[in-house]
Amino acid sequence: MRSSDTTSKFISLILRHKPEAIGITLDGHGWADVDALIRGINAAGDYRLDRDQLEEIVRTDAKQRYSFNEDHTRIRANQGHSIPVDVELEQKIPPAVLYHGTGEKYVASIDRQGLLAKSRLYVHLSADVETARKVGSRHGRPVIYTVDCRRMTEDGHIFYQSANQVWLTAAVPVQYLKKQP
């Protein structure tokens, strides 16, 4: 049996990128039927999951990746999708500055093109340097960019905040970025 952390990562893969891998579909807002998700994960063979375990994974996930609907019959990932879904994000005015953590290997591209969503629907930004550093560390030696959100907002860029407090925007052009020393 796999650990709950490994199972959580598999759930993330399913709900953000590949629901078809276990024979389920997401609705237009990214929701999946909980019973279908559990059946599909168990049928995949490598994981064992029941409703109590799923509730525990959602409740204790450090990144708060998932949300249940009110009666816990449906579940979705809060953000990070590579498939087109509308997770009903509320447009918000961001703080004056946000941060983006990345790996050193991506710096030349970012310095040339800015931050692009690439395979995701949005660029992910953090409210604090420490979170950005943790994110960047997943990609090697971390590099932190400061994002001038005040100017971006003044220039008409739109921001959203996900249910787990990650800030999202379509892209961050180079002129709004400053690499931290």
Sequence letter at residue 161: Q
Q: Which of these three, 55, 77, 99, is where a domain ends?
A: 77
Q: Helix 51-60 crosses helix 34-44 at what angle (to 10 degrees)? A: 100
CA dihedral 154, 160, 166, 170 (to 10 degrees): -70
Reported pTM: 0.74
52: number of CA atoms within 13 Å, CB side? 0
Residues 99, 5: Cα–Cα separation, whole Å: 26
| Percent above pLDDT 90 for the chain | 78
In a shared domain, residues 126 and 97: yes
| Residue 3 pLDDT | 65
- Can you give the CATH number for the domain in which 53 is found? 1.10.10.970
Domain count for the chain, please give it. Answer: 2
Distances from the Cα of 128 to the Cα of 54, 96, 109, 125, 180, angstroms: 29, 12, 23, 9, 13
Domain of residue 94 covers: 90-179
pLDDT digits (tens, 9 = 90+) for 90-131: 899 999 999 999 999 999 999 999 999 988 889 999 999 999
Residues 150, 157: Cα–Cα separation, whole Å: 10
